[in-house]
Structure 1
Amino acid sequence: MPVCVTISALDAGHLTLPEYLFVTDAEPGKRATVPSLAFLIQHPSSPPSRPSSSTTNIVFDLGIKRDLSGYAPSQEAHIADRQPIITDPDCATSLRKGNLEPATDVDIVILSHMHWDHVGTPSDFPSAAFVVGSGTLDMLLHGAGPLYPADIFNDDEIPASRTVDLPTVMRARGDGKYQEPRHTAATKEARERLPTAASDWAWKPLAAFPAALDFFGDGSLNVIDAPGHLYGHVNLLARVGEKRYVYLGGDCCHDPRILRGEKGIALYDDGRGGLRSVHVHTDEAQQTLDRIGEFVKLKAVEGVKDVEVEVVVAHDGEWREKNSHRFWPGTL
């Protein structure tokens, strides 16, 4: 039996999305209150910071801050347009419901990206290493172009001394305009909190994905480079059974109808005489979606065929309604 992880969903707040910003052929004026899901991933290994434990606890995404005043002032108008916002329970509260203490029991936090509804309250996790897509720390300090200026982020949002910027992904660019933030080398303190496999981390092709990183070195959890939404956006592919995988898609899309092919990615006025989507690079975001769709159809991972793949994205209200029993301490 291959090494597997267990996954539990976590309530980490809700926000309200105007449909026209996210899907094509939107119903005029329609707004939907949706979750910002987080996930607990448990791997059967002893973490370096808690050698007496036989389980490494990872949290993927942290959802919404319970105190909205903690966001950068320039985000106030944007957040106001996402009301109603529900902050209780947040990620930390959801963990405690299953008797896990964020401050002492969480070993690693992996953030899919740094948008406000995914960063949560990092100070709740003072013992954890933070793992982010390459360029994230640079983006927090310097921004990333006119759509993502530095003032929309808190430059100290995550603890730099405990944060690992994943290796840079080398990929061709078609237009020369996609200037990603620069990679930041991790500190010794951060590296010491990672699994032993981290010394060999490298991006390699996996199934339909050009770049995947084997987090524990045993195939149980792969970080998937998922470009398009925001610089450094990553997804996770977790093996939860011999032939069962869960793909955590973050913000690869914001509506399950896009995954099913019923809707497309919406374009809207960018305020500069052009059109944009909620993604920094719409074509790349669509390519990421296409790869996910191809992977689901392929049903094969590393020579194992006929695997079952479940895709869960961060704001899927339909999934949440149908899967309340799979929230921590329940499992996927």
Structure 2
Amino acid sequence: MSHLSGANFTVPPGDQSVQVRIIDSTARISNFKLGFLMEPPMEGMEYMTPLPAWSFLIEHSSGQKILYDLGVPKDLHSYAPIVRESLKKQGWKIDVEEEVLDTLEKNGIMADEISAIIWSHWHWDHIGDPSRFPSSTDLIVGPGFKNEFLPGYPAKPDSPVRESDFVGRNLREMDFSNSIQVGEFRAVDYFGDGSFYIIDSPGHAVGHLGALARTTTNPDTFIFMGGDLCHHGGEIRPSKHLRIPRDIQPSFTAAIQFPCPGGSIYERFLVQRTGSADKPFFRPAIGIDIEQAIDTIEKAQVADADSNIWFVYAHDTSLLNCVDMFPLSANCWKEKNWREKTLWTFLGEFETAVKQI
């Protein structure tokens, strides 16, 4: 086993990498109350910043192409009735300019080139519309999915997924009973060469899956696709492995000469808020098992603190206007310092609350 620098996130050795490209699904979800996803409340943050929904194209040296998450379909009426009613009740504003498949096809990648779709989980903002892909495209889901949701709507009227999502195609439910260890996670070596791992990351939803892609070798670098493992940078950071840098200060402090002896103003605010300097600002408020969701976050914090791993969750707003999107590759993330550029940008959302300390 090879140990990465920084935090001790252990990944099996491998000499193969995959190409990763981040696709902007063009979904933007607005009017979303913070308290629906996280707690405790934060002054000045009643609503989340409009949320994107990232999709990832993973390409193996064999030519196989995999999609991790599909975002939101343009036609919200195509969802199962239970999902449509829930969206109507919540009153969120959902905008989608172009579906992931349309973005791919505009750039010369056809639906029949996608060998598999991985759903991080079955929630509406991740599943897209797999029926647009041919039956040769497998659909990969997490443990417990089949028992919970099959045969899908309409045969199962209260199912949030549709029969059309998987009818006629290979629906593969991941089995982690004989898995390997990646960090503290159970994982499956998808291609068998250490280039791409599917990760068991339970707590948020039935069968939640993450993924770890090796983006370079010698030295090893990785992109960790977190799905809805967390919904905000402040739900995973800081941690006992990754403290807030002392030199990060809000721009308004210079103007008002806010004194901050001994560390960052943000760290003082965090201690006031949580009683600790090495806990995240938020806890998850949504999930089938909140304690398990917190445990999964804590396991991911080790990867998040590793300088050779870039952790990206599904609705990570820090990527906007900061990193290269499809069709450009994300494999150069370390060379371009994307991790450092995006790691603490969420702190800027706390200005109203920080001014109160």
TM range (shorter): 0.7 to 0.9
Contact in 1 for aligned 2:204/2:288 (Cα 8 Å): yes
Deviates more, 1:248-257 or 1:67-76: 67-76
Q: Which residue of 1 aligns with 2:325?
A: 326
Structure 1 residue 124 corresponds to structure 2 residue 129: no
Distance of aligned partners of 1:35 and 1:82 in 2 relative to their CA distance in 1, 3 Å threshold = farther
CA RMSD, Structure 1 to Structure 2 (Å):
2.2
How far has the Cα of 1:74 moved from its partner? 2.2
Q: Which residue of 1 aligns with 2:346?
A: none
Contact in 1 for aligned 2:140/2:174 (Cα 8 Å): no
Structure 1 residue 19 corresponds to structure 2 residue 12: no
CA distance in 2, matches of 1:207, 1:152: 34
CA distance in 1, matches of 2:328, 2:137: 20
Q: Which residue of 2 aligns with 1:228?
A: 203
CA distance in 1, matches of 2:320, 2:105: 19
How far has the Cα of 1:105 moved from its partner? 1.5
SS at match of 1:34: coil
Contact in 1 for aligned 2:198/2:209 (Cα 8 Å): yes
Structure 1: gaps spanning 5 or more residues:
46-54, 144-148, 171-201, 267-276, 300-306
Distance of aligned partners of 1:31 and 1:310 in 2 relative to their CA distance in 1, 3 Å threshold = closer
CA distance in 2, matches of 1:139, 1:166: 12
**Paired amino acid for 2:181:** P
CA distance in 1, matches of 2:193, 2:96: 36
1:1-332 equivalence runs, <5 A: 2-12=15-25, 13-16=27-30, 17-24=32-39, 25-26=41-42, 27=44, 29-45=46-62, 55-80=63-88, 81=90, 83-102=92-111, 104-126=112-134, 127-141=136-150, 151-169=158-176, 202-209=178-185, 211-242=186-217, 243-261=220-238, 262-266=280-284, 277-297=285-305, 299=306, 308-323=308-323, 325-332=324-331
Q: Deviations over 1:41-91 (max 9, x none)?
A: 00001xxxxxxxxx1110001110111001122223432335321111221
Percent identity (aligned): 27
SS at match of 1:123: helix
TM-score, length basis structure 1: 0.74
How far has the Cα of 1:4 moved from its partner? 0.4
TM-score, length basis structure 2: 0.69
Q: Which residue of 2 aligns with 1:304?
A: none
SS at match of 1:9: strand
SS at match of 1:240: strand
Contact in 1 for aligned 2:204/2:289 (Cα 8 Å): yes
**Paired amino acid for 1:57:** K
Deviation above 6 Å: which 4+ runs of structure 1?
Answer: none
Q: Deviations over 1:186-219 (max 9, x none)?
A: xxxxxxxxxxxxxxxx41222232x110001100
Deviates more, 1:85-94 or 1:243-252: 85-94
How far has the Cα of 1:259 moved from its partner? 2.1
CA distance in 2, matches of 1:329, 1:96: 15
Distance of aligned partners of 1:5 and 1:258 in 2 relative to their CA distance in 1, 3 Å threshold = same
How far has the Cα of 1:30 moved from its partner? 2.1
CA distance in 1, matches of 2:204, 2:151: 18
Q: Which residue of 2 aligns with 1:176?
A: none
Q: Which residue of 2 aligns with 1:302?
A: none
Contact in 1 for aligned 2:55/2:314 (Cα 8 Å): yes
Q: Deviations over 1:170-195 (max 9, x none)?
A: 5xxxxxxxxxxxxxxxxxxxxxxxxx
Q: Deviations over 1:280-324 (max 9, x none)?
A: 101111111100112344x4xxxxxxx60000000111223311x
How far has the Cα of 1:8 moved from its partner? 0.6
SS at match of 1:138: helix
Compare CA radii of gyration and give the structure with the larger one: 2
Contact in 1 for aligned 2:216/2:222 (Cα 8 Å): yes
